[in-house]
Amino acid sequence: MAVKSAKILESAGHKVGLFVSPHISSFRERMSINGECISEEKVTQLLPYIYRICKERDIPATFFELTTALAFLYFDQCQADAVVLEVGIGGRLDATNCISHPAMCIITSIGLEHTAILGNTIEAIATEKAGIIKQGSPVVIGPNVPLELVSQIAKEKKAEGCYVADMMDYSLLDPARNRHTLFNEIMDYDIENSLIVATAFRLLRSKLKDDPHRRLFSITDQHIQQGTSCRPPCRFEEFFLPIMNDRQDTEPVTRIIHEEVNVQVHVVLDIAHNPPAMSYLVGKLNSLYPHKKKRFVVGFSNDKDIQKCVDSILKAVENNVSQIHLIQASTPRAATLEEIWHAVPILKYSIWNEKDRSVHYQVKEAIGKVKRNGDEILVICGTVFLMSEAREALGIEEPRDSKLIAEIAGSGYGSFQDNVMLNN
């Protein structure tokens, strides 16, 4: 959602700051200008200033709050035209919620997640997330948000209005499609998010067209199409991994990759980590590839509904647990193998390694089985915290943190983000 919004603005010629969390492979992914991550030099230059301010003013800032401050300072120094902020957890008490008059607020969907922090009902969670609504600012909500409750909160906060995203009009996503093609499309979070963003920018364009201090009304339908076509990494990210013959080669793989390939492993990376997301993922897999077997490498955070997530996976593999590889992500929030077995006892008979519970080990194991079995799709999912190691195991080359930045970011960055809410 945030990435699509930033890309729309960038397509329209704006200098756009984007703040997201958590990151996949590098802490620096959290803040970028027009798609280019903050440099390590900038991080090491700006953070000491933030630390000093916190010390001088006795501010007990959390990791997420420090990261948010770093992003704001960076965007200010870069003189960004517009900034897109992805809220961390909740909204009401989130560090990003210090913006007093945003041009637009968007609430995508509400689900039973982070219940220990946000509440254990949809209504309680929706109330926390609606905390981002501001007086005089419009708010756009997705189809899976309690309309009556959020509308009432918007009214109480004197928002400009509460608008429901148009889930039936594909015309701004692709001119060749129209309302009538909706029922022939595979609905997933990417399409849903694209439609919400398209609604938000059409609304924003109409609100700002007569404002002499704003230039956002210059956004065209083409800019919206360009931005919404962007898909962030690990959101049903597909690619084919070349696998070499078993002969021993001394040449680098990159030199023989087009000469000796005899198998390509179809890989899907998706950060689906809760029951609704897992259901969407499995639904899309079965719709796109109904006749192909699926093999899963999966791990979970310990605060998720593991049972319901696994129910969807078991349907995808037709209850054949030998098609499931269990891992334990390297984060304090990761569910252990024992916790996963306790939640779903049948997974004791899946594929796992008690001594080496790593993502890397099971990705390699799964690739080997796909190579032997043939026509299977390898799906890696369950939590964002396994994606960096999975991508590395798959040979994906991308920016990663130096030792210094890794120390700054911390190994358990996800748990730090939760502390934003716990410590307020």
Which is more confident, 187 or 156? Answer: 156
In this predicted model, what pLDDT tens digit does every residue of 12-50 receive, in sequence order?
A: 999 999 999 988 888 999 999 999 999 999 998 998 899
338: tokens are 């024992």
Q: Alpha-carbon distance 40 to 28, whole Å?
A: 8
56: tokens are 């001088």
Q: Does 293 have pLDDT greater than 60? A: yes
The DSSP code for 266 is E
Mean pLDDT for all residues in the chain: 86
Quote the pLDDT of residue 167. Answer: 82
Q: Alpha-carbon distance 369 to 293, whole Å?
A: 12
Quote the pLDDT of residue 164. Answer: 94
Burial classification of residue 10, based on how many CB atoms lie within 10 Å of its CB (0-12 exposed, 13-18 middle, 19 or more buried): buried
Q: Pairing relation of β-strands 31-33 and 16-19?
A: antiparallel
In this predicted model, what pLDDT tens digit does every residue of 63-100 receive, in sequence order?
A: 899 999 999 999 999 999 999 999 998 899 999 999 99
Cis? peptide before 22, omega within 30° of 0: yes
Quote the pLDDT of residue 217. Answer: 67
> Which domains are present in the chain?
2-228 (3.40.1190.10), 237-269+272-382 (3.90.190.20)
Which is more confident, 220 or 116? Answer: 220
Q: Which residues contact 153 (CB under 8 A, 6 or more apart)?
A: 127, 130, 133
Which pTM does this prediction carry?
0.85
In this predicted model, what pLDDT tens digit does every residue of 112-121 receive, in sequence order?
A: 777 778 888 9
Task: Identify the band that residue 381 occupies on the pLDDT scale cut at 50, 70 and 90.
Answer: very high
Q: Pairing relation of β-strands 36-37 and 31-33?
A: antiparallel
Quote the pLDDT of residue 179. Answer: 53
Quote the pLDDT of residue 238. Answer: 93
Q: Alpha-carbon distance 67 to 95, whole Å?
A: 9
Q: Alpha-carbon distance 419 to 102, whole Å?
A: 25
Q: Alpha-carbon distance 312 to 316, whole Å?
A: 6
Q: Does 342 have pLDDT greater than 60? A: yes
Q: Which of 155-169, 237-251, 349-363 has the lowest mean pLDDT?
A: 237-251
Q: Which of 13, 73, 23 is nearest to 48 (CA)?
A: 73
Quote the pLDDT of residue 375. Answer: 85
In this predicted model, what pLDDT tens digit does every residue of 108-150 receive, in sequence order?
A: 988 777 777 888 899 999 999 999 999 999 999 999 899 999 9
- Other CB atoms within a 10 A radius of the CB of residue 143 amount to 14
Q: Alpha-carbon distance 79 to 63, whole Å?
A: 24
Q: Alpha-carbon distance 401 to 403, whole Å?
A: 6
Q: Does 421 have pLDDT greater than 70? A: no
Identify whether the C-beta of residue 31 lies closer than 8 Å to the C-beta of residue 75.
Answer: yes
Amino acid at 225: Q
Q: Which residues contact 27 (CB under 8 A, 6 or more apart)?
A: 43, 401, 405, 406, 408, 409, 413
Quote the pLDDT of residue 414. Answer: 37
Quote the pLDDT of residue 242. Answer: 79
Q: Alpha-carbon distance 389 to 24, whole Å?
A: 9
* Mean pLDDT of all residues in 173-185: 59
Core vs surface per residue 246-261: b (16+ CB within 10 A) or e: eeeeeeeeeeeeeeee
Q: What percent of the chain has pLDDT over 90?
A: 62
Enumerate the β-bridge partners of residue 25.
none
Quote the pLDDT of residue 413. Answer: 39
Furthest-apart CA atoms within the chain: distance in Å: 70
Quote the pLDDT of residue 244. Answer: 57
Cα dist from 238 to 107, 171, 310, 327, 378, whole Å: 27, 25, 21, 21, 10
Q: Does 420 have pLDDT greater than 80? A: no
Quote the pLDDT of residue 207. Answer: 83
* Mean pLDDT of all residues in 202-221: 78
Element at 320 (helix H, strand E): none
Quote the pLDDT of residue 212. Answer: 64
Q: Tokens 């517009």 correspond to what residue?
A: 82
Cα dist from 298 to 280, 302, 360, 382, 386, whole Å: 16, 13, 12, 5, 8
Task: Identify the band that residue 185 occupies on the pLDDT scale cut at 50, 70 and 90.
Answer: low
* Mean pLDDT of all residues in 277-281: 91
Quote the pLDDT of residue 111. Answer: 79
Q: Alpha-carbon distance 413 to 424, whole Å?
A: 18
Identify whether the C-beta of residue 91 lies closer than 8 Å to the C-beta of residue 145.
Answer: no
Q: Which residues contact 375 (CB under 8 A, 6 or more apart)?
A: 292, 293
Amino acid at 189: Y
Identify whether the C-beta of residue 242 lies closer than 8 Å to the C-beta of residue 272.
Answer: no
Enumerate the β-bridge partners of residue 334.
301
